[in-house]
Amino acid sequence: MIRRRLIGLLLCTAVASGTFSMPAAAAESYDNCKGYIESLPSTITTPGVWCLRGNLTTMMTDGAAIRLGANNVTLDCNGFGITSQHGLDTVVGVRADAVVNVTVRHCRLAAFGTGILLAGDNAVVEDNALHQAMVAGIRTIGDGNVVRRNRVLDTGALLYGVDTWGIDATGQGTRVIDNDVQGVSGSGTAVGLRIQNGVAANNRISDIRPMDGAAVGIRLSGTVAIDNLILQTAIGAAGTGVAGDAGATSLCRSNVIAGFTTAISDCTAVGNTTHP
């Protein structure tokens, strides 16, 4: 019995300490690339792994820099960046509409209106860095999507009255896991993570700093929020750490929330640690 308990404790400790959740350790390889994206804009219409092998920039004023136009497409940027030179809110970095089983990974996207916008089921968005998106870093719309291990930094521009989101994920069974969201601003409501009908686990969100509107760490509806760390470091920015929807039951468990005027609202709260 003692041995069994010890093994259980070791497993729990390993999981809790992040032993099993570190990102890939090696530099990128092109071995599994089916083809390459060399210029923008670009549309992928054939399933497979499509890669970048250099940084790309675009002067587009609307549309998408890369469009995933088929099911079962993986875009692997191999750590390279895609930058919008104009910094307009009408340009999307990577976009997919009505396709399934797409993956976007290892991309650095800077200064788009929305960095990654995927509409379709079973999408994976992982290990990307989103810098200075004007409206949203990552948006997914569809069932069974997974958003994990991304860095979403410095989201939001001073577009009058526009709400901004670090990550916005909607759909049954959506999972948003182990992301870092740092710095969300804007003149409307600034939200670190918005999620509906899914699970938000082990995300780290800090520095939500709207100019005029409210700050929200996580806005959720019909969702389980567990083990998230939410810190408001912006001086004088009122807001809510986790804001639920009164019409859809959500569960908030084991989250740590500090610096907001309201820690949790409209969410069944169990075992959280909060501090004003």
Partner 1 sequence: MNSRTLAALALLAATVSLPGPVRAAESMDNCEGYIDALPATVSTPGVWCLRKDLSTAQAAGAAITLAASDITLDCNGYKVGGLAAGASTDAVGVYANGHGNLAVRGCTVRGFRTGIKLNGRRTLVERNRLDANTEVGIRVEGDMTIVRGNMVNDTGGRPDAWTATAIMAPQQSHVIGNDIQGVQPTGTGNAYGIDLQRGIVRGNRVGGLLPGADGDAMGIRASQALIVRNTLIQRPAGEGMGISGELGGIVCRDNVVVGYAQPQIQCHDVVEGSP
Contact 202, 177 (CB under 8 A): yes
C-beta closer to partner 1: residue 142 or 259 = 259
C-beta closer to partner 1: residue 55 or 261 = 55
Q: How many residues appear in the chain?
A: 276
Of 15-23, 160-168, 188-196, 215-223: span binding partner 1 (CB under 8 A): 15-23
State yes or no: residue 272 binds partner 1 (CB under 8 A).
Answer: yes
In the list 72, 197, 254, 262, the residue contacting partner 1 (rule: CB under 8 A) is 254
What is the rounded distance in angstroms from the CA atom of residue 121 to the CA atom of residue 198?
A: 13
State yes or no: residue 221 binds partner 1 (CB under 8 A).
Answer: no
Of 34-42, 67-75, 136-144, 146-154: span binding partner 1 (CB under 8 A): 146-154
Name every residue whose Cβ is closer than 8 Å to that of residue 186 and which is 6 or more positions away in sequence.
155, 156, 157, 158, 159, 162, 163, 164, 210, 211, 213
Q: What is Dmax (Cα atoms) for the chain? A: 65
Of 35-43, 66-74, 149-157, 160-168: span binding partner 1 (CB under 8 A): 149-157
DSSP reduced 3-state for 202: coil
Min CB(196)–partner 1 separation in Å: 24
C-beta closer to partner 1: residue 71 or 262 = 262
State yes or no: residue 29 binds partner 1 (CB under 8 A).
Answer: yes
**Parallel, antiparallel or unpaired: strands 114-119 and 91-97:** parallel
Contact 68, 50 (CB under 8 A): no
* Strands in 24-76 per DSSP E: 35-36, 42-44, 48-51, 56-58, 63-68, 73-76
* 23: exposed, middle or buried (Cβ count in 10 Å: 0-12, 13-18, 19+): exposed
State yes or no: residue 256 binds partner 1 (CB under 8 A).
Answer: yes
Q: Which of residues 64-103 bind partner 1 (CB under 8 A)?
A: 78-81
CB count within 10 Å of CB 194 equals: 24
State yes or no: residue 11 binds partner 1 (CB under 8 A).
Answer: yes
Min CB(97)–partner 1 separation in Å: 29
State yes or no: residue 34 binds partner 1 (CB under 8 A).
Answer: no
CA dihedral 78, 146, 130, 105 (to 10 degrees): 10
Letters for 97-126 (x = contact with partner 1 by CB under 8 A, - = none) are -----------x-x----------------
In the list 43, 46, 55, 61, the residue contacting partner 1 (rule: CB under 8 A) is 55
Contact 175, 152 (CB under 8 A): no
State yes or no: residue 247 binds partner 1 (CB under 8 A).
Answer: no
DSSP reduced 3-state for 51: strand
Looking at residue 196, its amino acid is Q
Binding site for partner 1 (CB under 8 A): 3-4, 7, 10-11, 15-18, 20-31, 53-55, 78-81, 108, 110, 129, 131, 151, 153-154, 180, 182-183, 204, 206-207, 229, 231, 233, 253-254, 256, 258-259, 269-275
